[in-house]
Structures are given as structure tokens and as C-alpha cells.
Amino acid sequence: MHHTLKLYSRHRESALRFYMFWARWTRIPLIGCLVRRVANTWGNNLEGAYVLTTDEAGEIVDACEKLALGPCSCRELYHNCDNPVNVEIMLRLNGNMFIEERPGDYHEISKVEAKDILRECHQRGLIHSIVKCREDFYAICNCCTCCCVPLQLHNQYGIGSALTRKDDIIRVFREHQHAV
């Protein structure tokens, strides 16, 4: 996994606050366009999330050897609703910086448990997204519309690359799995 993911995993709450701080700068005349351009470049090239259907999330779960369950960073930070916090599915155990940095926050789950969580999250109206750093897909997040930082960056601040839809995400994920 990329070294920036290790830094993010150690300081994820601060990183999310940092993203939201800079996002507010997009509303400042003249500077806002530059901040939005830099943020979209960052999202396209370094970190970002892709919206998934429940079926796509299930296919990704099926393609993984081991999974772990832990807290959604956005909901853990913002607590804007009563949705469950422990609904982020880590896509591998070995080499996953989140698990290595905060082992007490995560526990291994089966594919059946992961799919049950996806179904429950779908029923609650949560958004499934696969999160990446560089080319490393490391988690399926199941976040709400009121806490999700990528969704807020996209909808409120015009940083479209923070959360996008990619119709061939399963193919891209599988290609990456074969390369690892």
C-alpha cells in the first residue's frame, strides 16, 4: 500500500477535517477555482471514492480473500445521525494500514457477514463506496448522506472527483487485485 495511506490511517480524523477546511475555500472568489482544481486533481490521482451498487459491493467482497470490519471514519468524526458506525469493510488484512495502525478497531469477518452488513446498510439508505489511495482499493465504506466527507466535498463544494461513479469499477478492481 502507498505510504500516504499509512499517514492517512494514523491521522484520519485530522485529514477529514483538513479536507473540509480547504473545501470551504472553494467558496472564496478567485481562490475558489484554484482550490477546486487542485482538489479535483488530488481526487483523480491520489485519493477518491467510487459509488457502488449493493451487487457491485457484493462482487468485490467475493473477490477478496479476507475481510475486516471497522468504524466509518466520517461517521465516527461527525456523528450527525444514529446510523451504525462500525460498517466499513476493509478489503484485506495483511498490508492494510488501517488495521496495522489501529488493530483494536477492526475484527475479521466472513464474506457472508460482509454481505449481511451491505444489505443492512442498503436498507438503511447508506451509500456504498469503494475507497482508494493511489491505485490501492482498501475499503468499502457504507456511509450516510449527512456525514460522508466525499459526498459533502462533491455536492457542497463542487469537488467532483471526491466521489464518482465508474461503470467498470469491478473490472478495475479485479485488474488491481491481479496486479497485487
Q: Residue 93: its pLDDT value, please?
A: 56
Round to whole Å and give the CA distance between 132 and 109.
Answer: 21
Round to whole Å and give the CA distance between 148 and 166.
Answer: 18
**Residue 21: pLDDT above 60?**
yes
- For strand 107-109 and strand 67-70, is the pairing parallel, antiparallel, or unpaired? antiparallel
Per-residue pLDDT of 70-97, as tens digits, reads: 999 999 999 999 999 999 999 875 566 6
Mean pLDDT, residues 113-117: 97
Domains of the chain: which residue ranges? Answer: 3-179
**Residue 11: pLDDT above 70?**
yes
Q: Percentage of residues in the chain with pLDDT exceeding 70?
A: 92
The whole-model pTM stands at: 0.87
User: Which set of grid coordinates corresponds to residue 42?
Assistant: 488530488
**Residue 1: pLDDT above 70?**
no
Average pLDDT, the chain: 87
User: Which set of grid coordinates corresponds to residue 72?
Assistant: 466509518
